[in-house]
Amino acid sequence: MKKLYIYCDGGFGNRYGTLLGGIAFAETHNLSPVINWRNTKWCRLGFNDIFDSNLEVIEEKTLDHFTDCIRLMHENTDGISMHKNINSLSSINDIEIDYQKDYVYNNNWIPRWLIPDNLVRIAKQLKFNSDIVSKSKKFIDENNIDQDVIGVHLRATDFNTYIPKFDEEYNWIQQQSDTKFFVLSDDPTIEGKFDELENVIVRNKDFYVEKSNQGSSWIQNVERTSESVFDALIDLTVFSHTNILINSLSTFLKTALIFKSKEDLANPQDYQQYFYL
């Protein structure tokens, strides 16, 4: 059986989208999925430290190691002749497979040909390891997290030149005194600010995203240590058990909605407009 190398890079949300599309493509076309999970500043936590999975994982390689493979990518960045734009397909069956060659799948987005039911089915195959699950469940149980709690994600770092204050969100939540909120952020000062409100639940993390270069702004200047990614994945799981406020199109929020659906806490059809490009 020829192989499909699923090339995972970027932050966790981008990698997760790559996994879902890659596994779906491999299943449909009878290719053997192999995970290439890169250790970069965007995500230092390894695949097997996140997932309880029997998928084959190879020692990480850069994209130029796959020159003999047919590339299935989100855009043609280098003009390679064996490139196919995976997001241009109207159906997962639109590609005629050459079974004399291996393939590499590198696509940060979830393509529209991956219909919601299949997306959620594959997401259910990718189970977090027991440590993430147990820590998430403990926090959910101790704080009575359910669908009556509104989850609010406030992204503060890598796309901003400075840390936003989120005063508008703060005032709005403060006024909803009879409603419980779970607020999470990638910045400790933001979480500390919202933690002062009596109707807000915050999970105080031990590790947060850091700057690669302390003298520069946050834009494209992050270092996500293995510990910070682990903490963020616990947050992500807790977040998925809330009534999620759709306040952005971030991959983190998109991933939480997929988690919500795979845990049977939502109908995937209700959120399909947010899953894709």
Question: Rounded to an integer, what distance in angstroms lies between the CA atom of residue 156 and that of residue 163?
Answer: 5
**Cα-Cα-Cα-Cα dihedral sign, residues 153, 154, 156, 159:** positive
- The residue among 55, 56, 239, 50 whose CA lies nearest residue 130 is 50
At residue 78, does pLDDT exceed 70? Answer: no
Which residues have a Cβ under 8 Å from the Cβ of 263 and sit 6 or more positions away?
A: 240, 241
Q: Closest Cα to residue 20, out of 90, 154, 125, 99?
A: 125
> Which of these, 129, 116, 100, lies nearest to 230 by C-alpha position?
129
pLDDT in tens, 111-154: 999 999 999 999 999 999 999 999 999 999 999 999 999 999 99
Which of the two residues, 220 and 226, has the higher pLDDT score?
226
Count of H helices and E strands in the chain? 9, 12
Q: How far apart are CA 246 and CA 111, in angstroms?
A: 20
* Residues 21-60 pLDDT 10s: 999 999 999 999 999 999 999 999 999 999 999 999 999 9
Percent with pLDDT over 90 in the chain: 75
* Residue 30, Ramachandran bin (φ over 0: left; ψ between -120 and 50: alpha; else beta): left
**pTM given for the model:** 0.93
pLDDT the model gives residue 74 = 81
The per-residue pLDDT of the chain, averaged, comes to 92
Domains delineated in the chain: 3-125 (3.40.50), 130-245 (3.40.50)
Q: What pLDDT is stored for residue 214 in this prediction?
A: 87
